[in-house]
Structures are given as C-alpha cells and as structure tokens.
C-alpha cells in the first residue's frame, strides 16, 4: 500500500484505545506496518481485524519491552501514548500515586526509547513521538498536579533526546493535546458525582466549545512520523483548540 508512511515500521504503545488506537489505524492507512501494543488484549484483537500486527506489552515492564523490541528490531517510528491522569492537587497526591504516575507517564517513554533508539541510530533514521499534554509546562490546569509534572518531564526528555541525537537522523517530538474525547476521558466523566455536569465543564474549558477527537491528534502524529516533518525535532506541538492560547 502506498502512503506517506509506506515502507516504515511503527510501534505504538497504548494502542487499544483513544489516541494510541486512532494513531495506529492512521499509521496503517498511510502504509506503515504497525505493531500495536497494549495490556488490553481484547482491545488489541479488534485491531487485528483492521490488518495490524499486535503484541501484549506492559510499558511498566522493561524486560517485556526488550523482548518485544528484539522480535521487531527494525522500528522506524515509536509512538509513546501510554499515560494516566491522576486527579487532584499536590495535597491529594501521596508518594505512591506520585511514583506510579512518573513510572507510567515518564518511565514508559524512558524504557521504550532506550530499547528502540539503538536500532534507529544504527540505521541513522527514526521518529520518536511522545504524547505529552497541554497540561504540563505549557499550562497550569486545576487538579492535575502530578499529571502536569509528568508531562512537563516528558517534554524535557523529548527535547533532550532531540538535541543529543540531532545529527544522527533520529528526531523526537512531543504532541501536547488539549481535552480529547477518549475512553479514559469518558471514564473520568462517568466517575464524577454529576457526569453530565462534568462533561459540560470539560467542554466549557475548551474555547472551541467542543472536545478534540483522537483522529485529529492522529493527523499530527502521521505528519511527525513521516519524512514531511524531517526538519521538526525537539518540538512540543500543541493541538488543543486554543485552550492554552
Ligand atoms: P486512554 O486512557 O483512553 O487509553 C489508554 C490505553 O492505555 C488503554 O488501551 C490502556 O489499556 C493502555 N494502558 C494503560 N496502562 C498501560 C500499560 N501499563 N502498558 C500498556 N498500555 C497501557 O488513552 P487517551 O486518553 O487517548 O490517552 C493517551 C495519551 O494521551 C496519554 O498519555 C494521555 O495522558 C494523553 N493525553 C490525553 C488527553 C485526553 O484528553 N484524552 C489529553 C492530553 C493528553
């Protein structure tokens, strides 16, 4: 199949739902050979029907990451989507929650990049895309203390990787979405005392008066994965309907 990503192999984490899923499907539509990974095997199974290759992968598990990457040594595009939203201020975030958020939101990218980067460097080519957030070093958002700290750290890691390997053919960028309609957002709304009010509040904070879609984020991911973006590295690209403007 020809497309903007034809000939490329892309590994996507957290691909069973939301932004990861939409991106895995968009990569495949653009001709990439996609390895969609997640801990949710039932969710992954629905991607097999779409022609994607899948593998169960817990991004907290460094050994499992090494095993998957050793089976798929040629990875041109790494899309790090795994992340968790802890709700609350710093006072609501105990040490265990703090550590767990950092381990998933930043540690996953650390582990994935360390596993995939050597192969990219050998081939002098690669695009790494980390899913950060507007809620980060970019914008203070109520009740997102540890979440924003992790996403700011992810932006810092993105810039470091970009600079350290700028002459090696490997690029690293972060996508910083605003509020995107995904299963995890739906779950956060459903868990609120008044789910309808929670949905109205999430929409009200978006200047466009609507949530983003995972497909809208996937379009940016395709661009960053493709050679069209070859002069883009170290960028933290907002895609937030003017939320942080
Ligand atoms: P989601 O939360 O709806 O889906 C997450 C997926 O991650 C699920 O399929 C789940 O099984 C998988 N997952 C969870 N723990 C895992 C683990 N340890 N290993 C592998 N997979 C695991 O996804 P989403 O809302 O699209 O979020 C994706 C990314 O985008 C996250 O990093 C999130 O922080 C970021 N983000 C989301 C929004 C939003 O509004 N939805 C906004 C900004 C940034």
- DSSP codes, 63-126: HHHHHHHHHS---SEEEE-------B-GGG--HHHHHHHHHHHTHHHHHHHHHHHHHHHHHT-E
Question: What is the Cα 109 distance to its own chain's centre?
Answer: 9
What average pLDDT does this structure show over 136-155?
Answer: 98
- The C-alpha atoms of residue 1 and residue 20 are separated, in whole angstroms, by 21
Q: State in Å: Cα 123 to ligand 1 middle.
A: 29
Give strand pairing partners of 236.
174
Beta strands in 167-235, from DSSP E residues, in sequence order: 170-177, 180-181, 212-213
Q: What is the pLDDT of residues 79-125, one digit of tens each?
A: 999 999 999 999 999 999 999 999 999 999 999 999 999 999 999 99
Is the pLDDT at 2 greater than 90, yes or no?
no
Average pLDDT, the chain: 97
Q: What kind and span of H or E run contains 37?
A: strand 33-38
3 Cα to the center of ligand 1, angstroms? 26
List the catalytic residues.
147
Ligand 1 pocket, Cβ-based, cut-off 6 angstroms: 13-14, 16-20, 38-40, 43, 57-60, 81-83, 104, 131, 133, 177, 179-180, 182-185, 214
Nearest C-alpha neighbor of 19 from the set 244, 235, 185, 198: 185
């Amino acid at each position: 199949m020809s497309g903007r990503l034809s000939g490329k192999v892309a590994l996507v984490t957290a691909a069973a739902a939301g932004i990861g899923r939409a991106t895995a499907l968009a990569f495949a539509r653009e001709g990439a050979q996609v390895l969609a990974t997640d801990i949710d095997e039932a969710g992954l199974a629905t991607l097999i029907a779409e022609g994607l290759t899948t593998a169960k992968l817990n991004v907290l598990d460094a050994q499992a990451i090494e095993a998957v990457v050793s089976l798929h040594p040629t990875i041109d595009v790494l899309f790090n989507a795994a992340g968790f939203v802890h709700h609350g201020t710093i006072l609501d975030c105990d040490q265990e929650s703090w550590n767990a958020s950092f381990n998933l939101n930043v540690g996953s990218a650390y582990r994935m990049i360390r596993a995939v980067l050597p192969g990219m460097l050998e081939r002098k080519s690669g695009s790494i895309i980390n899913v950060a957030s507007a809620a980060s070093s970019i914008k203070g958002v109520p009740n997102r203390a540890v979440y924003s700290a992790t996403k700011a750290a992810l932006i810092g890691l993105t810039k470091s990787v970009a600079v350290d390997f700028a002459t090696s053919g490997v690029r690293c960028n972060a996508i910083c979405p605003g509020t995107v309609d995904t299963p995890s957002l739906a779950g956060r709304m459903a868990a609120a005392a008044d789910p309808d009010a929670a949905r109205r509040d999430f929409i009200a904070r978006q200047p466009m008066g609507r949530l983003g879609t995972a497909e809208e984020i996937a379009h940016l991911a395709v661009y960053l994965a493709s050679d069209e973006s070859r002069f883009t590295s170290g960028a933290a690209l907002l895609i937030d309907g003017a939320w942080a403007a």
